[in-house]
Amino acid sequence: MGYQILLICVLAFIPTILGRDTIILGHDTTMGTIVIDGTKTIAETDENFVCLTLDIWPHDECRWSKLCVWDGHASMLNLDLTLPILNKAVQAFKSVRIRVGGTLQDKLIYNVGTGFKGTCHPFQATVGSLFDFSAGCLYMERWDDLNNFFNNTGAIVTFGLNALLGKHNTKGIQWEGKWNYSNAEALIQYTVEKNYRINSWEFGNELAGRLSIGASITAAQYAEDLLKLREIIDRLYNNSQQKPLIVAPGAFFDEAWYDEFVRKTGPKVVDVLTHHIYNMGAGNDPKLIYRFVNSTYLSQVSNTFEQLENVIQKNAPWAAAWVGEAGGAYQGGSPHLSDTFINSFWYLDQLGMASLYNTKVYCRQTLIGGFYGVLKSSTLLPTPDYYGALLFHRLMGPGVLKINNKVSSDLRSYAHCSRGRSGVTLLLINLSNTTNFLITVQNDMNMSLRKSNTRTNGSHSKYRQKRTASREEYHLTPKDGLLRSSTVLLNGNPLETTKEGDIPNLVPVYRQSNSYIHIASWSIAFVVIPDFVTPACK
């Protein structure tokens, strides 16, 4: 079959490009072929792979903490759940996952149950206490409001439970002692009685392994506590049709710790192993920006996915892998990066990469809050990543296909069976600012979609396209070519919400399926090919 890379001068025989009929002269163009193995899927994601997070912070975080990125009303405790734009942004997905949790989850008391009801208070700065905050309070009125919001928006909810309650700090960051489960049990009981649907209960946040944040629990103690949670869930949901999943440990991956943990909990206790990813660096690192367009850098984290997949295959075949929290840059994200187009190079690449390693769900820090919100905290306006997430959710199905792409390391490519329709959808990311790519797609089964080498007739292609159009393309580029633009263009048109907060329609351009796919420099494209019929995507 052979792929060929031809460096050519871009001239008349280039097909229509992004709705224009010419492309800028002087740029190099690389032509090449991507081969998709259509015989079988190599991994499966969950039907609902895209997940967004809500964190837990007091509204006056800046008064207290050095971090100071959560001021305002951007956390699960204080977000205005009635805002139309928020509701519309979540509803647009129809079924997006929301994970509620974060640093202060292990300091949150639920105002329910004997010994707890009426005793808890909002977070206060408390120097010397873990994370320099007192324990905080989740009032049941707020829990009701949150569940109404989840129900109204179709969200699929993962809630992170406090795993530190009852434990005490022994030395360093080590915490010991049995989990006091009675408050969590009371919250779950309340939730069951109210008939609130929680998809999954997660246990603890970043308390595991070498990269524990603030507090650390041994795998042995964690396993013992988790067995208790299993018993509580099995008992309280005994009469329910749908039993929620148990998710743990929500930590940075540490192979030895995860291994020991699954061996000690034993079969079918933990349903999902979550891990967190912040692979781009600290939010204020001046070198950060170069990493987003560095293919080698972006690929490094694939080791982590691979190791977790190995742990599951070897020692926990009953468990699924999820990314429980991933924000790119840590420390609240990076202003003018995390909320701009350039972040999509990291984020959409991550969605593709994680899928390849059988990650079932990928939770993006955050839906709102910090600099990494897909909705901006101040205005709730969607960032470029919001639209990227929405396109991924709508277009990419669970079946993941193997791709052979030797075109260029700057062209990152992923292929899934299309969501809810026939054919395949590609995600193509062009990290290069100097090379355009012209791509043909082939099926490994020698069913070339480019049946002939007919060169499209520039000026006439527009109407020919009408008759024979069969490929949908969604090209994302930054406004004015500025990578740090907070406005993304879809096929050349800015994506903007209406005054009422309505999310715009995401309208593709149609191309003949035998024409080249053009991926401009510094751009991202979803390409839907309905007539790419292949046994893997039945």
Ligand X SMILES: *[C@@H]1O[C@H](CO)[C@@H](O)[C@H](O)[C@H]1NC(C)=O
218 binds ligand X (CB under 6 A): no
φ/ψ of residue 515, rounded to 5: -95, 165
The answer to whether residue 473 is catalytic is no
CA dist., res. 135 & res. 56, Å (int): 12
Q: Which of 61, 260, 325, 473 is catalytic?
A: 325
Within positions 396 to 425, which residues make up the interface with ligand X, using CB under 6 A?
411
Kindly indicate which of the ranges 167-175, 259-267, 359-367, 438-446 contains the residues binding ligand X, using the contact rule CB under 6 A.
438-446
DSSP letter at 19?
A: T
**Nearer residue to ligand X within complex by CB, 97 or 360:** 97
* Number of residue whose CB is nearest ligand X: 437
CA dist., res. 442 & res. 40, Å (int): 15
217 binds ligand X (CB under 6 A): no
Exposed, middle or buried, 451 (CB in 10 Å: 0-12/13-18/19+)? exposed
Distance of CA 320 to the CA centre of its chain: 16
Which of 499, 512, 407, 535 lies closest to 463, judged by CA? Answer: 512
Q: Which two tokens stand for residue 531?
A: 């007539």
Judged by CB under 6 A, the residue of 78, 124, 180, 302 near ligand X is: 180
435 binds ligand X (CB under 6 A): yes
Within positions 286 to 345, which residues make up the interface with ligand X, using CB under 6 A?
290, 293-294, 296-297
454 binds ligand X (CB under 6 A): yes
437 binds ligand X (CB under 6 A): yes
442 binds ligand X (CB under 6 A): no
The answer to whether residue 206 is catalytic is yes
119: amino acid identity, one letter: T
196 binds ligand X (CB under 6 A): yes
- Do strands 396-405 and 43-44 pair parallel, antiparallel, or not at all (unpaired)? antiparallel
Judged by CB under 6 A, the residue of 176, 234, 496, 531 near ligand X is: 234
CA dist., res. 430 & res. 408, Å (int): 9
- Shortest gap between Cβ of 29 and ligand X (angstroms)? 5
237 binds ligand X (CB under 6 A): no
Beta bridge mates, 50: 362
Owner of token pair 């792929």: 3
Between 244 and 283, how does the x/- string for binding to ligand X read (CB under 6 A)? ----------------------------------------
# of chain residues touching ligand X (CB under 6 A): 40
Between 509 and 538, how does the x/- string for binding to ligand X read (CB under 6 A)? ---------xxxx-----------------
- Do strands 509-512 and 469-478 pair parallel, antiparallel, or not at all (unpaired)? antiparallel
Exposed, middle or buried, 137 (CB in 10 Å: 0-12/13-18/19+)? middle
CA dist., res. 511 & res. 534, Å (int): 20
CA dist., res. 530 & res. 525, Å (int): 16
111 binds ligand X (CB under 6 A): no
Q: Which of 61, 185, 202, 206 is catalytic?
A: 206
Q: Which two tokens stand for residue 345?
A: 């190079």
**Nearer residue to ligand X within complex by CB, 468 or 487:** 468
| Torsion of the alpha carbons at 21, 26, 27 and 29, rounded to the nearest 10 | 70
- Shortest gap between Cβ of 292 and ligand X (angstroms)? 10
Active site residues per annotation:
206, 325
Residues forming the site for ligand X (CB under 6 A): 1, 27-30, 115-116, 151, 166, 180, 182, 195-196, 234-235, 238, 290, 293-294, 296-297, 411, 430, 432-437, 439, 444-446, 454, 457, 460, 518-521
